Amino acid sequence: MTAIWPDHLFPNHLFLVGCGNMAGQMLSRWLSEGLEPARVTVLRPSGKPVADGVAVVTDYPAALPAGTTVLLGMKPYQIADVADALAPLCAADTRIVSILAGTTLAELRSRFPAARDIVRAMPNLPVGLGEGVTALFSDDATDSAARDAIGALIQPLGLVEWIADEALFNQVTALSGCGPAFLFRFVDTLARAGEAIGIPADQAARMALATVQGSANMAARAAVSPSTLADQVASPGGMTRQGLNVLDADDRLLALLTDTLAAARDRGEAMARGE
C-alpha cells in the first residue's frame, strides 16, 4: 500500500488500550492512510481481531518499545485499573494520548508520572472518514516537538483544534465530540417530521439525509456564513422564511441547542469529579 501521508507522521509503535467505536475509527483511518499494521498493538481483553496485521493482546506486554505512543481508548471509569498496569511500562519517551472524557490532564499526570508528553484529545466519529474534528490540549510540560508530532498524527483524521484552556475542554467536547449524535438525531427527526406531514417514511428518510449532507457540504465550501446562506435561501414571504420564523421565534432553536450542549458539558464536569 502506498502511504498517502508521509510515513514520519506515524509513531514507530502505537499501543491502543481499548479499541471501541472511537478508537477503532481512528485506527481504521490511520491504517487506510499508510500506518503499517505491524507498528500497532491493541490491548483488548476479548482478543477479538481488529485489522489484518495488527497484533491484538489480551494482557499488558512485559515492556513497550522505545518511543511508543499510547492511545487510551477504554472507558473512563477503567483509568485506575489501566494505570496500575500500564504506568510501570511507561518511560520518559512514552507519549500518551487520552480520549477519555472527563479525565483531566492533572489526573493523567498523576497516574502516569514517568511520561513527559501527555495530550488530551477529543475526536468525533467522522474521524474514520478523515472528516472528523479533534480537539487537543496539553500543558507546558509536554515538549513542543511532541505536540507537533501528535498534531501531525491526528491530522489525517480531519480538523485539528488545539485548545488553550483545559477549562473549555468539556464545552468543546459537548460541541464537536457529542455533536455528531445530536446531528444524527436531527436528521432522524427531520425525516420523521416529513413523514408527519404526509411524505412516505422511506422517502422522507432518504431526502432528509441527502438534504443535510448536501447542505453541510455547501456550507463548508461557501464564502459566507451558514446564517447568511439561510437568509439567501429564504425569499421574503416564501415557504422557507415561514419555516425559519418558527425556528427563530424567541431564539427557540438556539435555546434548545444551548441547553443540549450545557447538559453534555455538565456531565463531563461531573465525570471529572468522579460522579
CA 171 from centroid of its chain's CA atoms:
13
Whether residue 75 is found in the same domain as residue 152? yes
Whether residue 214 is found in the same domain as residue 244? yes
Q: Are 209 and 195 in contact (CB under 8 A)?
A: no
Q: What is the pLDDT of residue 269?
A: 86
Whether residue 183 is found in the same domain as residue 140? no
Domain count, the chain: 2
Whether residue 78 is found in the same domain as residue 152? yes
Whether residue 127 is found in the same domain as residue 222? no
Q: What is the pLDDT of residue 184?
A: 96
How close are the terminal C-alpha atoms of the chain, in Å? 46
Q: What is the pLDDT of residue 2?
A: 47
Q: Are 148 and 155 in contact (CB under 8 A)?
A: no
For residue 35, the domain's CATH number is: 3.40.50.720
d(CA 256, CA 59): 45
Q: What is the pLDDT of residue 65?
A: 94
Whether residue 147 is found in the same domain as residue 214? no
pLDDT digits (tens, 9 = 90+) for 36-67: 999 999 999 899 999 999 999 999 999 999 99
For residue 254, the domain's CATH number is: 1.10.3730.10
pLDDT digits (tens, 9 = 90+) for 142-169: 989 999 999 999 999 999 999 999 999 9
Whether residue 92 is found in the same domain as residue 202? no
Beta bridge partners of 43: 17, 57
Whether the CA torsion 153, 123, 125, 229 is positive or negative: it is: negative
Q: What is the pLDDT of residue 4?
A: 65
* Parts of the chain with a pLDDT under 50: 1-3
Q: Are 190 and 148 in contact (CB under 8 A)?
A: no
d(CA 52, CA 39): 12
